[in-house]
Amino acid sequence: MCGIIGIVGKSEVASALYDALTVLQHRGQDAAGIATLDGNRLRLHKGSGLVRDVFDQTSMLALRGSVGIGHCRYPTAGSEGSAEAQPLYVNSPYGIALAHNGNLINTEALRREVFEDDRRHINTDSDSEVLLNVLAHELQIQDRRQLTPDHIFKAVAGTHARCVGGYAIVSMLLDYGVLAFRDPHGIRPLVLGERDTATGKEYAVASESVALDILGFRLLRDVAPGEAVLMTLDGRLHTRQCAEPAKHAPCIFEYVYLARPDSMIEDVSVYKARLRMGEKLGEKILREMPDHDIDSVIPIPDTSRTVAGPLAQILGVPVREGFVKNRYIGRTFIMPGQSERVKSVRRKLNPVGLEFRNKNVLLVDDSIVRGTTSKQIILMAREAGAKKVYLASAAPPVRYPNIYGIDMPVTAELVAHGRTVEEVERMLGADRLIYQDLDDLVWAVRDGNEKLADFDTSCFSGEYVTGVEPTYLADLEFARSDDAKSQRRQAG
Cα–Cα distance for residue pair 17/22, rounded to 1 Å: 9
Chain length of the chain: 492
Least distance from ligand AMP to the Cβ atom of residue 344, Å:
10
Closer residue to ligand AMP, CB minimum distance, 85 or 459: 459
| Min separation Cβ 171 and ligand AMP, Å | 25
Q: Is position 267 annotated in a ligand binding site? A: no
Is 303 known as a binding-site position?
Answer: yes
Q: Which residues are catalytic?
A: 2
Q: Measured from the CB atom, is 243 or 368 closer to ligand AMP?
A: 368
Minimum separation from the CB atom of position 305 to ligand AMP (A): 11
Query: Residue 177 or 397: which CB sits closer to ligand AMP?
Result: 397
CB of 221 to ligand AMP, least distance (A): 27
365 annotated binding-site participant: yes
In the complex with ligand AMP, the residue whose CB is nearer, 66 or 373, is 373
Is the Cβ of residue 196 or residue 302 nearer to ligand AMP in the bound state?
302
Q: Which residues bind to ligand AMP, rule: CB under 6 A?
A: 257, 300, 303, 331, 333, 365-374, 406-408
SS3 letters for the chain? CCEEEEEECCCCCHHHHHHHHHHCHHHCCCEEEEEEEECCEEEEEEEECCHHHHCCHHHHHHCCCCEEEEEEECCCCCCCCHHHCCCEEECCCCCEEEEEEEEECCHHHHHHHHHHCCCCCCCCCCHHHHHHHHHHHHHHCCCCCCCCHHHHHHHHHHHHHHCCEEEEEEEEECCCEEEEEECCCCCCCCEEEEEEECCEEEEEEECCHHHHHHHCCEEEEECCCCEEEEEECCCCEEEEECCCCCCCCCECHHHHHHCCCCCEECCEEHHHHHHHHHHHHHHHHHHHCCCCCCCEEEECCCCCHHHHHHHHHHHCCCECCCEEECCCCCCHHHCCCHHHHHHHHHHHEEECHHHCCCCEEEEEECCCCCCHHHHHHHHHHHHCCCCEEEEEECCCCCCCCCCCCCCCCCHHHCCCCCCCHHHHHHHHCCCEEEECCHHHHHHHHHCCCCCCCCCECHHHHCCCCCCCCHHHHHHHHHHHCHHHHHHHHHHC
Known binding positions: 303, 365-366
Known binding positions for Mg(2+): 303, 365-366
